[in-house]
Amino acid sequence: MTKMRLTRAVAKATGLSLAEAATCVDTVIDTIGEIIARGERVELRGLGTFYVQRVKERETAFSGTIPPHGKIMFRPCKKLREAVWTLEGSGR
């Protein structure tokens, strides 16, 4: 799903205009991004949790030293994990 399709789904579900729904979707996405960028976790019940995992400095054979940095992680909620697990053709 693209952001535009999500916006259309929000507009249809709420009765908002496409422009109003786009503002809502943009605001939610921007806010989540700002919170994650500060290193805080975002927990969305029914979806999962976004958080930043700290990665230590390490040496590689090809690119030399990789400095310590943050890595965005997502842990889906139990209901979502179970829904994906039961998808046909998911390789399980």
Please write the tens of the pLDDT for every residue from 7-42. 999 999 999 999 999 999 999 999 999 999 999 999
Spatial separation of the C-alpha atoms in residues 8 and 34, rounded to whole Å: 24
Q: Are residues 20 and 57 in the same domain?
A: no
Q: Are residues 32 and 59 in the same domain?
A: no
- Hey, which residues does 72 pair with through a beta bridge? 52
Q: Are residues 45 and 81 in the same domain?
A: yes
Considering just the CA atoms, what is the radius of gyration of the chain in Å? 18
pLDDT higher than 70, residue 90? no
Q: Which domain holds residue 67?
A: 41-86
Q: Are residues 65 and 78 in the same domain?
A: yes
Question: 59 to each of 68, 69, 72, how far by Cα in Å?
Answer: 11, 13, 21
Q: Are residues 2 and 20 in the same domain?
A: yes
